[in-house]
Amino acid sequence: MRIAQVAPLYESVPPNGYGATERVVHYLTEELVGLGHQVTLFATGDSKTSAELVPICERGLWRDGAVWDTLTHHVREVEAVIQRAGRFDVVHFHIDPLYFPSARRLPCAHVTTMHGRLLPADHGPLLREFSEAPLVSISDSQREPIPWANWQATIPHGLPIDAFALRENNEDYLLFIGRMMPEKRPDLAIEIARRAGLRLKMAAKVHPGETRYFNEKIAPLLEANRDFVDYLGEVGGAARIELLSRARALLFPIQWPEPFGMVMIEAMACGTPTVAFASGAVVEVLEEGVTGYIVDNVDAAVDALTRLDAIDRRRCRAAFESRFTSVRMARRYVGVYDALLAGRRAGNDRVCAAPRHG
């Protein structure tokens, strides 16, 4: 099958640090190549891939100090896809839906994975206008605000089985990793660690749009608690994996409807349990008492940390291998592509490609 993967341009594929969507696109692209498909990746010029790369810009837009308006680059990306669309059987979009009008005129099948939060007031009118657009959700929770859209499947993210290694002996620190944003509640991670009497390592990116929040709300907490909090900034690559694998537990005290939560399965792959607040997709990803604990507040999180020894890190890793590998993810997407192509041949663009769960 001839497949195009269209990645966001904010970071390279794979990203050097933060960038969950770009990381997922990388894993999916490599697995599709491994399964024998002919894959073309539309992404930044500094991306690394086994597929054919169509570079849209020199580097990740968030890494380029000369770039201010990222939308202009994504418009060019859409045009590059349209110009080459006749070469593909399926185009798989992972970018914001600014291309929807053009997708109606593509000479091939197409599908969009919705990676972010869905807002009824914003996405509702859009998806009613483009009701035929085939979509994939990354959790059942994500699609709940707009359940009537043309959902083809729910396909959880996956990781290469050998990308993260099980480490049975951990060090005595907690970990907060990802992005410094209000919805992720890094302040609560600090409070949980303080009350539990455990050291906390924070490896988190400060997005330009969240600098004020960091400076006003988080930086003072880091200074006041520097005796037990280590702020490491953004961490990627092998250092990120090392942090995850050595942690006693991952803290995920979110207070927003998280569409998936990639870092939870990264921790799971290392055998590291997660203590997470019950929001969004958390209850779909974590298995209580096996891969972590799902809690409702700070008190419950502190209590859960006293029960970490009850979690078998080998069983935690086994749960990852059974549910969240990238080859499993890729095969489910191939099922979606096959169904869309069959539906196109039959003149049915709204075909439902696969069961929701998987």
* CB distance 174 to 190 below 8 Å: no
- Residue 168 located in a structural domain: no
Total domain count for the chain? 2
- Residue 114 located in a structural domain: yes
Range 187-211 average pLDDT: 93
pLDDT of residue 355: 44
Cα maximum dimension of the chain: 65
- Residue 34 located in a structural domain: yes
pLDDT of residue 252: 98
Show the domain range for 288. 173-323
- Could you tell me if 148 and 214 lie in one domain? no
- Could you tell me if 120 and 184 lie in one domain? no
- Could you tell me if 96 and 50 lie in one domain? yes
Does the pLDDT at position 349 exceed 70? no
Helix boundaries (H) for the chain: 20-34, 70-84, 100-103, 120-129, 140-143, 186-196, 211-213, 219-224, 237-246, 262-270, 282-285, 298-305, 313-323, 326-346
Residue 356's pLDDT band (cuts 50, 70, 90): very low
Does the pLDDT at position 350 exceed 70? no
- Could you tell me if 90 and 48 lie in one domain? yes
- Residue 50 located in a structural domain: yes
- Residue 356 located in a structural domain: no
User: What is the C-alpha to C-alpha distance for residues 351 and 231, in angstroms, rounded to an integer?
Assistant: 48
- Could you tell me if 183 and 315 lie in one domain? yes
Residues in a beta bridge with 238: none
Whether pTM > 0.85 for this model: the answer is: yes
DSSP secondary structure string for all residues of 102-129: HHTT-SSEEEEEE-S---HHHHHHHHHH
- Could you tell me if 98 and 205 lie in one domain? no
- Could you tell me if 201 and 295 lie in one domain? yes
178 or 5: which carries more pLDDT confidence?
5
- Could you tell me if 142 and 36 lie in one domain? yes
- Residue 355 located in a structural domain: no
- Could you tell me if 202 and 133 lie in one domain? no
- Residue 163 located in a structural domain: no
Which residues fall within 8 angstroms of residue 187, CB to CB, at 6 or more apart? 217, 218, 221
Does the pLDDT at position 248 exceed 60? yes
- Could you tell me if 301 and 246 lie in one domain? yes
Does the pLDDT at position 262 exceed 80? yes
Residues in a beta bridge with 250: 175, 274
- Could you tell me if 242 and 291 lie in one domain? yes
- Could you tell me if 177 and 118 lie in one domain? no
- Residue 353 located in a structural domain: no
CATH number assigned to the domain comprising residue 211 = 3.40.50.2000
Does the pLDDT at position 354 exceed 70? no
Residue 348's pLDDT band (cuts 50, 70, 90): low
